Amino acid sequence: MKKRFLRDLEVSSIGFGCMGFSHGYGSGPDRNESIKLIRQAYDLGCTFFDTAEVYGHGSNEELVGESLKPIRNNVKLATKFTIQKDSAVTSKESTLQQIRTHVEASLKRLGTDYIDLYYQHRVNKDIPVEEVAFSMGELIKEGKIRAWGQSQSTEEEIRRAHAVTPLTAIQSEYSIMERMFEKDVIPACEELGIGFVPFSPLASGFLSGKIEEDTKYEGDDVRRVITRFDRDNIVANQPLLDLIKRFAESKGATLAQISLAWMLHKKDFIVPIPGSRKLERIQENLGAADVELTEDEFNQIEKELENVQIFGNRTDEDIAKLKDMND
């Protein structure tokens, strides 16, 4: 597996998003099978694993921690904390106190004494990002975390936080279907030397080309509320899949691999974290690191994408509503 850098943090060029084992995509494999799959991802060359305290109400961190325990020093482990809007944070000191509570709980669940990359999981607009950045700097000094990042933040929030304690990575939704962060956030990351970590790089599986029009999603499956999975939008977005399929066939690759290869070609500081719960899909996703687009192929994809309209999207608000329904 090729390597990349998120600022000073060396990781595999494709990481592994572990959320789906506990949260967000309906029922998954049992615990033993999940542990086996995470370790198989490592055997295939993945050294960058992502989780969060909210996934499965902490159970995902416990699962990832147990899975990676035998190889902890060989991997980079990322997790996230959330400061809710109604939290009693009124000062820089109380911000640090609350974040320290979160990190200590995550360290315990993960079974480790440090976190390689610690994200603020969505930016709480009621707390100045400078206070969060200060707190992260303190945790770095204490050795509890090695680096920090933000999720779904704006260019302004990135610049303000980075000026206090340099950011290592921004994790936000990004795929060939969702490119809003190309306008300002990704250029800002390039300017400031910050890595960019796309979640849902395969648009929650849509870009696999395996989504059926009549597929039903149940429980906490986020695809229940992501409008690109509406029947009409699945049909309307077929031209995008047709475009990707042509390039996949010419490269002897899959649609998912071309979607990831496109992203890897775009910038060398982009490290996607696709998730899967089947070994063949994990092999496929990680295998995208070996699919290299030529400059001409990449430019042709970009040119053709200009004429492709995308129907449907996902919003944090919709996902939050689904979470409330399932809690």
Q: Say if CB 158 and CB 170 are below 8 A apart.
A: yes
Is 174 a catalytic site residue? no
CA distance 112 to 109: 8
Bridge partner residues of 171 (DSSP): 151, 197
User: Both tokens of residue 49?
Assistant: 């694993």
C-alpha pair distances (Å), 95 with each of 29, 92, 103, 131, 178: 37, 5, 12, 7, 32
Q: Which amino acid is at 153?
A: S
Report DSSP state, residue 145: B
Query: Active site residue: 55, 118, 119, 174, which one?
Result: 55
Q: Say if CB 48 and CB 15 are below 8 A apart.
A: yes
Residue 173: how many CA atoms within 13 Å on its side-chain side?
Answer: 14
Report the alpha-carbon angle 186-192-196, nearest 5: 40
Q: Say if CB 84 and CB 40 are below 8 A apart.
A: no
**Looking at the annotation, which residues are catalytic?**
55
